[in-house]
Amino acid sequence: MPKTLKSELYPLFSHSISAGFPSPASDYIDQRLDLNQYLGMHSEATFFLRVQGDSMQGAGIFDGDLLIVDRSVQAKSGNVVVAVVDGEFTVKRLQRRAGVTWLKAENPAYPPIELRDGQELEVWGVVSHVVHKP
């Protein structure tokens, strides 16, 4: 995990109450919502990649966005995935139908990549979330 990650986890109350007055809320202490946990940041199988290009705009993935990739899940048809094409990482939507697999762009300007028999497709990981700066 990158050391720059700050856990967004804070307790609602500090543990010592010095004056001896029990807090009326002490039975209700709960953890504040943790974005890292929500995004699966502490998982050993989570990796980050940076998007370059506009072929996935239709899926809400823009140039410069941050991809959170979870390698612990099996890729299914319809998932947005990071795949290896010609030795490079590419982000596309995985489509499987009737034994045919192709990588679909979400931008009409880019044709889908169809895999022929014998052609191997390596899905590197499934994109679980996208971090986009508006």
Pairing of strands 113-115, 66-70: unpaired
What phi-psi label fits residue 100: left (phi over 0), alpha (psi between -120 and 50 degrees) or beta? Answer: beta
- The answer to whether the CB of 103 falls within 8 A of the CB of 127 is no
48 binds another protein (CB under 8 A): yes
- For residue 3, state whether it binds another protein (rule: CB under 8 A): yes
55 assigned to active site = yes
Catalytic residues: 55, 92
Q: Which residues bind another protein (CB under 8 A)?
A: 1-4, 6-7, 9-11, 31, 34, 37, 42, 44-45, 47-56, 61, 63, 66-67, 71-72, 82, 84, 86-92, 105, 110, 122, 124
